[in-house]
Amino acid sequence: MPTSRLKLLAIDDCQDNLTTLDAVVREALPGCLLLTALDGPSGIEVARAEDPDVILLDLVMPGMDGFDVCRRLKADERLSMIPVIFLTALQTDRESRVKALEVGAGAFLSKPIDELELVAQVRAMAKVKAANRMQRMVKEELSSLVCQRTRELEHELAERKRDEVEMQNLRTAVEQSANTIVITSPQGIIEYVNPAFEKVSGFTAAEALGQNPRVLKSGEQDATFYLNLWTTITSGRIWRGEFHNRHKDGSLYWEAATISPVFDDKGDIVRFIAVKEVITDRKILEANLHEALIRAEAAASAKADFLSVMSHELRTPLNGVLGFTEILADSPLSEAQKTYVNTIRDSGNHLLAVVDDILDFTSIEKGHLKIHAAPFALDGLVKSFDLAIQKSATDKAIEFRCEVAPGVPDQIVGDERRIRQVLFNLLENAVKFTSRGSVLLRVSTLLAGGRSILNFSVEDTGIGISPDTLARLFHPFTQGDSTIRRQFGGSGLGLAISKRLAEAMDGSISVVSTPGKGSLFTFWLPLESSFKGGSASLPICLDQPSGATPLPSAGDLVLVVEDDPTSSKLMGATLIVLGYQVEFAENGHEALQAFRKGKFSAILMDMQMPVMDGLVATQKIREVEALLGGHVPIIALTANVMPGDPDRCLASGMDGYLSKPFKKSELAAMLAQANHGNAASK
């Protein structure tokens, strides 16, 4: 179907979503008309008035949610043939997907929406609508023709049985029809069946005549179903539905049917005509698709569980490797030994980055990505990049600069962690693929489409990107070619994750590049500043840390609850270096016993342990404190990093969360913050 003829209806209670969808449709489907509605009732009215080819329906809406809207659409004879595609960013679980199929949706897409998948689904559904419309027209036309001609013939026979030629022509058309046609009396007794009926049901015409159509009943549909059918047709209305019938040999088959009443000149019902089409193959396909969906979701769940286990099993030894490497790096070493230690650290960090990329990408695929917007200092973020990237650039003898344009706010609202992740990936790639020249980070603001935009650009003088590679640059596991992979390494997930993170924050990433000259990546976000007045300085190029972690009080005792011996040794050694005293427990039960006996300034709690896990132990410690008073800060220090793990820790009563592998500075800051908060509350 040509895109110029497409008419879409988008129903979403968020105007921003409708605006974004309109932009996608304009670009991907030129000439397509997009109708919009901000709630379910309005959307149904628009559908009745405009008869769109496809309805794009949000799931979570106030008043009437997407499921209710879809049910009402499918219950309406005029609207039931319009395909519905669910678009949602919230309810992407298996139950919602299955429920969407049950209420009649044709597809279920998770936000952020993949443009290619959306276009493919729209085009496929538009074709289904056109085919269904044509099929329905053919059925209704045939049914109407049969009814009309039957009335005429009965009238002609009653008058003088005239025009027998037409009657014969009509009979020939009916008998040659591939659809099953059954004519019954007003009481439902079969008076006529065509040859297609014999072929489909296994009953001969002689066997069927004089019988009630209930001879085909399989018992799979209850009495209410047939009562609704009979009530509809005896009231003079057309009934449409699906029969699950039984063949004469006992096998089951499905038919889509239209049953129409035939009236005489007085308006009394004199016949019922059923036109039916075998749809067994379609029903089998639907069942297979449903089972495939269930299997796919089960496989996705198994993959997530596997990744969770593998992440835990990789992070635990990496915690020991990177942690003891950090301690070793602070001890007196020869230059060669320092090189070895740095190599171990860099290799461990590279492996950790690959693990993190895989987990991030899996979370995005499953729709579990959450954006947490909060005010933060933009200048501090930029300064941190100047410190983090400068060393890598210096090691390669290339220049690295950060520039912030006048007017950029000091404070903005956004997900600092995710913004940092995107920028760090872009900057790290720029340094990696640049052997001479410079890498420049610019931060500026601009107006686009009536709103303020925060614009980050990363420009390098590196190897550049070929036009062929640009077209697939943001696809998962994509790099320039195998030579680049061998020379520079990497999983090929970084840019794919960055683009999806940008889109989840209502932004985007674009790139222009010239092979041999360099690349310019642009990452923009809607600007929401948290304070009026004040702007970041120009340029920001600092090389000193912005503050120090407070030292512990003399004699502060920390309880380490950890079942892995290596991790336990590492945490003990790190705490001693930081000036703390340490006691150890191997599981939650031992931790609870130690808590009752000792006086600790903080507890570092693993999540996954034998006998009693960290979550249960924390809950029991908080129960004791509720009776006796006091509050000891409990910090989760764990290799469990799947979505929801930090929330589970905080919900159990913990005060903080730190993932393995951890850095000494991170642990020091977390303990200082916890103890400061505890002291302030006393």
pLDDT at 610: 92
pLDDT at 512: 93
CATH superfamily of 137-283: PAS domain (3.30.450.20)
Phi first, then psi, for residue 484 (nearest 5°) are -65, -40
pLDDT at 138: 79
**Which has more pLDDT, 352 or 232?**
232
Predicted confidence (pLDDT) per residue in 6-20, tens digit: 899 999 999 988 998
CATH of domain 374-526: 3.30.565.10
Same fold for the pair 137-283 and 374-526: no
Provide the strand spans (E) within 175-251: 180-184, 190-193, 239-246
Query: In what helix (H) or strand (E) does residue 258 lie, and over which residues does it extend?
Result: strand 252-263
Once rounded to an integer, what is the mean pLDDT over residues 57-68?
Answer: 90
Phi first, then psi, for residue 262 (nearest 5°) are -115, 130
Q: What is the CA radius of gyration of the chain?
A: 35
DSSP 550: P
pLDDT at 529: 54
Closest CA to 628 of 590, 585, 674, 596: 596
| Residue 620 predicted with pLDDT over 90 | yes
3-state secondary structure of 253: strand
pTM exceeds 0.85, yes or no = no
pLDDT at 539: 34
Percentage above 90 pLDDT, the chain:
39
Predicted confidence (pLDDT) per residue in 487-519, tens digit: 444 456 778 888 888 888 889 999 999 999 999
Predicted confidence (pLDDT) per residue in 235-263, tens digit: 999 999 999 999 999 999 999 999 999 99
CB 273 within 8 A of CB 260: yes
pLDDT at 478: 54
Beta-bridge mates of residue 452: 447
3-state secondary structure of 9: strand
| Residue 564 predicted with pLDDT over 70 | yes
Predicted confidence (pLDDT) per residue in 569-607, tens digit: 989 999 999 999 999 999 999 999 999 887 899 999 999
Quick one: fold of 292-363?
Helix Hairpins (1.10.287)
| Residue 72 predicted with pLDDT over 90 | yes
Once rounded to an integer, what is the mean pLDDT over residues 406-428?
Answer: 88
| Residue 21 predicted with pLDDT over 60 | yes
| Residue 641 predicted with pLDDT over 90 | no
- The domain spans of the chain are 3-134, 137-283, 292-363, 374-526, 557-681
pLDDT at 477: 53
Please tell me the chain's helix, strand, coil percentages from 3-state DSSP, rounded to the nearest 5.
50, 20, 30
What residues have CB less than 8 Å from 227, skipping those under 6 apart? Answer: none
Once rounded to an integer, what is the mean pLDDT over residues 220-226?
Answer: 92
How is domain 3-134 classified at the architecture level of CATH?
3-Layer(aba) Sandwich (3.40)
Once rounded to an integer, what is the mean pLDDT over residues 33-46?
Answer: 93
Predicted confidence (pLDDT) per residue in 91-141, tens digit: 678 888 888 889 988 888 887 878 888 888 888 888 887 787 787 777 778
Beta-bridge mates of residue 510: 522
Closest CA to 257 of 129, 136, 127: 136
Provide the strand spans (E) within 565-642: 581-585, 602-605, 634-638
Predicted confidence (pLDDT) per residue in 523-560, tens digit: 999 987 544 334 443 333 323 333 444 445 546 899 99
Number of Cβ within a 10 Å radius of residue 268 = 11
Closest CA to 453 of 556, 526, 523: 526
Query: In what helix (H) or strand (E) does residue 277 lie, and over which residues does it extend?
Result: strand 269-278
Number of Cβ within a 10 Å radius of residue 45 = 11
pLDDT at 549: 44
pLDDT at 538: 33
Half-sphere CA count of 159, side-chain side, radius 13 A: 9
Question: How high does pLDDT run on average in the chain?
Answer: 83
* Single-letter amino acid, residue 373: A
Range of weakest confidence among 9-18, 76-85, 237-246, 301-310: 301-310
Q: Does domain 557-681 have CATH number 3.40.50.2300?
A: yes
Percentage above 70 pLDDT, the chain:
87
DSSP 106: S
**Which has more pLDDT, 44 or 177?**
44
Predicted confidence (pLDDT) per residue in 353-408, tens digit: 777 777 666 667 666 667 878 888 888 888 877 777 888 888 889 999 999 999 89
pLDDT at 24: 87
Residue 308 banded pLDDT, cuts 50, 70, 90: low
Q: Count how many residues are written for the chain.
A: 682
pLDDT at 164: 67
pLDDT at 416: 87
Angle at 597 between CA 593 and CA 603, to 5 degrees: 70
Once rounded to an integer, what is the mean pLDDT over residues 611-640?
Answer: 92
